[in-house]
Structure 1
């Protein structure tokens, strides 16, 4: 991970007083304001941050694989869905399919994805800071501050609004 991005992640998560205050501020937003503020911050942050400099999400967590994701990836890899599941996935405590191990099997050394055009929907949407109804994603946002430096920057920016 690029040193600057690592520092953003480390500093945000180790300043627990600030993190609690930032998250408290975000949790107090009215739901009709939250989307616009988050989407604006998302655009600004991703003009500065390149996910390929980090890929911490791919290195530390697994997306949820839906049936359509499994079928699409299995077809691309010329496997049966059952073979794809057996080779790469396990069922987690929420009964969702996730990767057996981290980092992601499909992560290349240069932080690119070997199945990028066929990746799961959860990967396409990560870090989920530009979705509609952001007020419903408060817990996910909190969780993603532990993984993604861009989310740390976005929530910090949003809290200052």
Structure 2
């Protein structure tokens, strides 16, 4: 398992953000797409349904030969890679995601991992040398705006309202 570091804790009730790694910054580097080329992306059932609603057939984007498990519990299948270059089937020739607004939640969260423990979510960052956005000099610190943008969909799934003036953006990033 890849090493990870705790960045923040989101307390769900009452809603509070505790930043643990004070000088952490992140910026998703435009046209990088290393995660689209190098990683196997797990698909949740909701991801599959959302992409199918765009008109894509499951056989086009689901790799039924790669499965993700947590212990003995089946979590889902992998997003398919193109056989000729090993990149995500939704990455276009310009390095842009064709389904960006509807991409799987694992894509929206990378390089972060959210772990729920009762009444709080721990926010970790994978110490992945693949990602140039981790502690990028032009990166953003973790604050409520960052949380809304990157983790809003997950918080909405837990029916967590955001602080006054911060609305959950379902588009995420």
- TM-score using structure 2 length: 0.51
From 15, 20, 31, the counterpart of 1:53: 31
From 87, 107, 114, the counterpart of 2:60: 87
Q: Deviations over 1:117-142 (max 9, x none)?
A: 111111112221798413xx4xx613
Distance 1:39 1:127 in 2: 18
Once the two structures are superposed, the pairs formed by residues 11-160 of structure 1 within 5 Å of their partners are: 26=5, 36-38=19-21, 41-42=24-25, 45-46=26-27, 50-76=28-54, 78-79=55-56, 83-84=57-58, 86-89=59-62, 90=64, 91-92=66-67, 94=69, 95=74, 96-101=76-81, 102-128=86-112, 132-134=121-123, 137=124, 141-142=126-127, 145-151=128-134, 153=136
Paired residue total = 114
Instruction: Please tell me whether the aligned partners of residues 114 and 122 of structure 2 are also in contact (alpha carbons under 8 angstroms).
Output: no
Q: Deviations over 1:13-70 (max 9, x none)?
A: xxxxxxxxxx79x57x9979xx51447523xx42xxx522311001111321111110
Cα RMSD, aligned residues only: 3.7
Distance 1:113 1:88 in 2: 13
Distance 2:8 2:111 in 1: 21
Say if 1:93 and 1:133 are closer, same or farther in 2 by CA, change over 3 A: closer
Gaps of 5+ in 2: 11-17, 116-120, 138-173
Distance 2:50 2:22 in 1: 29
Question: Secondary structure at 1:98's aligned position in 2?
Answer: strand
In the TM superposition, residue 109 of structure 1 has moved relative to its aligned partner by: 2.3
In the TM superposition, residue 103 of structure 1 has moved relative to its aligned partner by: 0.8
Say if 1:93 and 1:120 are closer, same or farther in 2 by CA, change over 3 A: closer
Which structure features the higher share of helix residues? 1
Gaps of 5+ in 1: 1-22, 155-161
- TM-score using structure 1 length: 0.54
